[in-house]
Amino acid sequence: WPDKAVDLMDEAMSSLRLEIESEPTELDELKREVQKLEIEKEGLKSEKTSDSQKKLRGICRSLADIKEKAQALELKWKTEKELIQKIKNLKKEADSLRSICETSQREANL
């Protein structure tokens, strides 16, 4: 039983680590949408009809909105990653200090 529990914990931690390091799905989708709209925009630039110009303006507005959302989401994701790293570092430091305290207490009791 203990081995299975350890394996499950390792698997969960690995999955969580991968999720934290990987770009969020929503952000990836927004970036793909930007690419798609950029290509569409380039195709419409050479067309001079009023319909194509109207569509071009709509694409430009959509691009601005999507880029703004993507930028905000990316900032949030990076901030969360930094906070998680700080927490990991503090936990490591706390573990180290705890170990030093335990060693000092054992030596004082000798």
pLDDT digits (tens, 9 = 90+) for 12-68: 878 777 877 889 999 999 999 999 999 999 999 999 899 999 999 999 999 999 999
Please indicate whether residue 2 or residue 29 has the higher confidence score (pLDDT).
29
pLDDT value of residue 59? 97
pLDDT value of residue 3? 81
pLDDT value of residue 11? 84
Handedness of CA 77, 83, 89, 94 (dihedral sign): negative
Q: How far apart are CA 51 and CA 46, in angstroms?
A: 13
Give the pTM. Answer: 0.70
Q: How far apart are CA 70 and CA 76, in angstroms?
A: 10
pLDDT value of residue 1? 64
Q: Which of 8-17, 65-74, 79-88, 96-105 has the lowest mean pLDDT?
A: 8-17
